[in-house]
């Protein structure tokens, strides 16, 4: 079961104050993401947290909506410089009344290992994308990281500073994304502590409409 919004509300100030563990990897992730976004794109970010990524990416697209279930996280996000370029919404992906669709890209950074049902989440993402649209994700993959990493995560969970999470391997994540009907177009791994898997995947274009426009 995923952590409730109250967990993230409590964690929000500490989360926002924590420095990036790998600034170079973060900037590389932003660059890879920007390369797949267009100036006319409508973008939906799920699990946006304190909005640090949203305010960096929003100026390059036509519309940027960022969802999070935590009011505490969103309060910090809305106070960030540049937040006026983002529509922050307290909701999850399943709440279609509050989230736009279809969109050109859905972003999921440090989210997919936290969901209760990965297959169902990816199916919902696929359904919310226009044909040819992209899922862009970066996910901690803790499988195979060794006993020290797993002991540290368990200790953090015990004291209430880490949420329940899936122990994924990069291959597990890739298979789940492909099984949801996506074409994986780019992958990249970020060491050195927990292994982070960057995946850009495309919902296949509608062949009938593509043929008509050819």
Q: How confident is the model at residue 211 (pLDDT cuts 50, 70, 90)?
A: very low
Q: What's the pLDDT tens digit per position in 187-198?
A: 999 975 558 999
From residue 180, alpha-carbon distances to 34, 101, 188, 209 in Å are: 24, 18, 20, 21
Across residues 4-25, what is the average pLDDT?
87
In this prediction, residue 15 has a pLDDT band, given cuts at 50, 70 and 90, of confident
Please determine, for residue 145, whether its predicted confidence score (pLDDT) is greater than 70.
no
What's domain 5-205's superfamily in CATH?
A: Vaccinia Virus protein VP39 (3.40.50.150)
Which pLDDT does position 42 carry in this prediction?
98
| Of 53-62, 161-170, 184-193, highest mean pLDDT | 53-62
User: Which range scores top for mean pLDDT: 61-65, 160-164, 188-192, 205-209?
Assistant: 61-65
| Residue 159, pLDDT score | 47
Average pLDDT for the chain: 87
The rounded distance, in Å, linking the Cα atoms of 178 and 173 is 9
Residue 95 confidence class, pLDDT cut points 50, 70, 90 = confident
**Range 178-194 burial, b when 16+ CB lie within 10 A, else e:** eebebeeeeeeebeeeb
What percentage of the chain exceeds 70 in pLDDT? 84
Q: What is the mean pLDDT of residues 176-197?
A: 90
Q: Give residue 210's pLDDT.
A: 42
* Domain positions in the chain: 5-205
Q: Which pLDDT value is given to residue 49?
A: 95
More confident residue, 10 or 153: 10
pLDDT band at 162 (very low <50, low <70, confident <90, very high): low
Give phi and psi for 2, each to the nearest 5. -70, 160
pTM of the model: 0.88
* Residue 149 in this model has a pLDDT that exceeds 90: no
Q: What 3-state class would DSSP assign to 99?
A: coil
């Amino acid at each position: 079961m995923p952590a409730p919004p109250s967990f993230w509300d409590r964690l929000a100030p500490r989360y926002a104050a924590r420095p990036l563990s790998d600034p170079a990897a973060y900037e590389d992730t932003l660059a890879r993401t920007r390369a797949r976004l267009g100036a006319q794109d409508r973008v939906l970010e799920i699990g946006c947290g304190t909005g640090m990524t949203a305010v960096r990416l929003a100026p390059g697209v036509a519309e940027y909506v960022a969802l999070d279930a935590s009011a505490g996280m969103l309060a910090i996000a809305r106070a960030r410089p540049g937040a006026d370029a983002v529509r922050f919404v307290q909701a999850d992906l399943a709440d279609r009344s509050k989230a736009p669709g279809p969109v050109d890209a859905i972003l999921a950074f440090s989210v997919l290992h936290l969901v209760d049902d990965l297959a169902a989440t990816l199916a919902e993402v696929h359904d919310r994308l226009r044909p040819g649209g992209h899922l862009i994700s970066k996910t901690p993959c803790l499988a195979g990281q060794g006993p020290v990493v797993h002991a540290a995560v368990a200790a953090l969970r015990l004291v209430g500073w880490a949420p329940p999470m899936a122990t994924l391997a990069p291959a597990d994540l890739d298979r789940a994304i492909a099984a949801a009907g996506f074409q994986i177009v780019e992958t990249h791994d970020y060491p050195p502590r927990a292994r982070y898997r960057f995946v850009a995947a495309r919902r296949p274009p509608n062949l009938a409409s593509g043929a008509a426009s050819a």
